[in-house]
Amino acid sequence: MTQVAVIGAGLIGRAWCIVFARAGFQVALWDKFPQQTTLALAFIADRLPELRAAGLLAEEPEAVLARIQPMKSLWDAVRAAGYIQENGPERIDVKTSVFTELERAARPEAVIASSSSGIPASAFTEHLKTRHRCLIAHPVNPPYLIPLVEICPSPWTDPAVTQRTREIMVQAGQAPATVKKEIDGFALNRLQGALVAEAFRLLAGDVISPADLDALVKHGIGLRWSFMGPLETIDLNAPGGLADYCNRYGALYAAMQEQMQPLDWDKALVDRLHAARRAELPANMQPVRQEWRDRRLMALLAHKAAQPE
């Protein structure tokens, strides 16, 4: 197994530790704030027994936890790593600085990936001498419960590095999807953004209530999308498959797209929707609901793992 370094021990970094350690990798964890590392290890120690109880951990929690070693410096963390996952703040200046240091400290053959959810690798790796080994490996939060990872190379990323990253993700039990070229938001956020943008348009036009809009997804399309993508969905929704569906509904979709004009998320709209959410879920209950979400995801992941593809 490849030794992995996880740089940054926040919510994403600690989740990556679970992903890699669960799959048998040795994991070196470092954060510039030692307290973050301590909190991360406590979080992981709490989560592993729950994953074991849900059938999502093949080994005893203690064995998995023992594979994660906190490091005192970034250099110590990466010196033996064949793969590095960076999880710093979503700021170009920060990532530029971290990747500059990672290039100096890492082994020449090590892959260096960023968890960035929106900043392309070209924005902070162009100046590097070994920029060919850098790319994006964007997870879905939390990655130890949602396996999808977007792999997005920069224009100068070596194709062999992209392929190696895919192989590592498969080895780690994740489901990689390669975005062939850099684009704002990569692919996943653009799909999510299209849905959220239309949701805000419907709510701004008072077409539906916030609660009923959420119901459309969680009791409707979300059920299908938990095991099928949009192309398979429409392919199965018409007797003659995808082409038949497009022939039947193409004009309707064209009309809807004409109506989907860009909408600014102004303060009045955001405040109204935020108030609706706080009426449904008081702010002090958010951590409780997040725990609920993660347990529901555990149950769903366990169910999917037991089903034929």
DSSP symbol at 140: P
pLDDT at 123: 97
DSSP symbol at 75: H
Both tokens of 29, joined, read 């964890």
Both tokens of 173, joined, read 């039990």
- Interval 99-119 mean pLDDT: 97
Output phi, psi for 146, to 5 deg: -120, 110
Q: Predicted confidence band at 1 (pLDDT cuts at 50, 70, 90)?
A: low
Do the beta carbons of residue 138 and residue 149 sit within 8 Å? yes
pLDDT tops 90 at residue 309: no
pLDDT tens-place string over residues 274-303 = 999 999 999 999 999 999 999 999 999 999
Residue count of the chain, please give it: 309
State the Cα–Cα distance between residues 40 and 34, nearest whole angstrom.
10
pLDDT at 155: 97
Which residues lie closer than 8 Å to 284 by C-beta, 6 or more apart? Answer: none
pLDDT tops 80 at residue 140: yes
Question: Nearest to residue 304, comparing CAs of 55, 7, 53, 27?
Answer: 55
Mean pLDDT (the chain, rounded): 96
Do the beta carbons of residue 112 and residue 86 sit within 8 Å? yes
Provide the whole-model pTM. Answer: 0.92
Residue with tokens 């993660």: 294
pLDDT at 2: 81
| pLDDT above 90 coverage of the chain, percent | 97
pLDDT at 12: 97
CA within 13 Å, CB half, 206: 1
